[in-house]
Structure 1
């Protein structure tokens, strides 16, 4: 069985398609969705079997750090501990191509957080399709950048993604060919930002 392939307008996503995508996710599906940095494998937080499928597709172990895709700052504060200093930095730099590593709250399932540090990676992506999906779902998605085994770059072309993994995913959302820029990763330790990876997001505010 092959994945559903939905081509959607990149700037004004059609509501009927957004609802269709969300239903597949709610039903436990593994979806390939566009972000502001490349395509990502996504599923709902409570869907443990979907998460395990994503790990198999990526060929990563149980220690792989997944990232929560959030709509906005208020959603971030449900899943991560954010003080006033961190909040201001996030407010000024979201949405955008950043992954923020923050201390996780009790709302985050243990299987999603870093075992030793009890942290979680969180993003507010700047992509109209993904924003519409997150608004409709009214909760975050779990995600992992779509980097296929033995490859270094994230996948950016939905047609070739369909050829490669259409048979082992439930949905591929075509948001056009993207530029595979990785996110800038910012780790907060005691509210102090440290740049762990330089990527698409401007690092100036965190230096």
Structure 2
């Protein structure tokens, strides 16, 4: 059964964040809030956890497109090729924020991402995922929690999310109702920003 931790954005308890980090380090899966919607996440360097994440999404890991959640721009060079000035300016002006930026991947990707030519980088403007990544010491892999309802595309109630994913994840962070608008996906691989999905973020 998933453990529900009530952690709030304005004043995240360090002891609870530490519990989340310990769970991630041991290969656990979490559901966490962001500046857009609730999401599923795991330690990007834990292959077994990544495989569990892919299984929940009913996709083969090598075909999965999980975002990489960072807490600032410092992790970018670990995953992406050299960034030109105009691309860096776009990132600097919009990070943290409700965007997922598609960028060219380098060869130093974690095992689960090997062979991918592009990666989606995200830095949510939300203290909880930022603290988790900071305390973990490396990014987390992440994917949105979608709803089967045709009208409500994304689940917003953490209690209902906890019910649905009770036996699939280890921790659900209850931070109150989330939003139901996802991040804006921006492709930066060509040098010119191309919006692949318009979400909450406005470039």
Q: Considering the TM-score relative to the shorter chain, is it more than 0.5?
A: yes
Cα separation, 2, equivalents of 1:93 and 1:113:
27
Cα separation, 2, equivalents of 1:149 and 1:29:
24
Aligned-pair CA distance for 1:149: 5.8
- 1:70-149 → structure 2 map (5 Å cutoff): 70-81=70-81, 82-109=83-110, 111-112=112-113, 115=116, 118-148=117-147
**Segment of structure 1 superposing worse, 55-64 or 6-15:** 55-64
Cα separation, 2, equivalents of 1:113 and 1:96:
27
Residues 6-39 of structure 1, C-alpha deviations (whole Å, 9 max, x = no match): 0012211011111111000011001111111111
Please identify runs of 4+ aligned residues in structure 1 that moved more than 3 A: 148-152
Aligned-pair CA distance for 1:150: 7.2
Measured on the aligned residues, the alpha-carbon RMSD in Å equals 1.7
Aligned to 1:66: 66
Aligned residue pairs total 200
Aligned-pair CA distance for 1:55: 1.7
Instruction: Give the secondary structure class of the aligned counterpart of 1:192.
Output: coil
Aligned-pair CA distance for 1:77: 2.4
Aligned-pair CA distance for 1:90: 0.3
Aligned to 2:29: 30
List alignment gaps of at least 5 residues for structure 2.
none
Distance 1:93 1:48, change over 3 A: same
Output the TM-score relative to the length of structure 2: 0.92
Q: Contact 2:33–2:129 (CA<8 Å) still a contact in 1?
A: yes
Q: Contact 2:27–2:49 (CA<8 Å) still a contact in 1?
A: yes
Q: Contact 1:37–1:97 (CA<8 Å) still a contact in 2?
A: yes
List alignment gaps of at least 5 residues for structure 1.
none
Instruction: Give the secondary structure class of the aligned counterpart of 1:76.
Output: helix
Cα separation, 2, equivalents of 1:114 and 1:65:
12
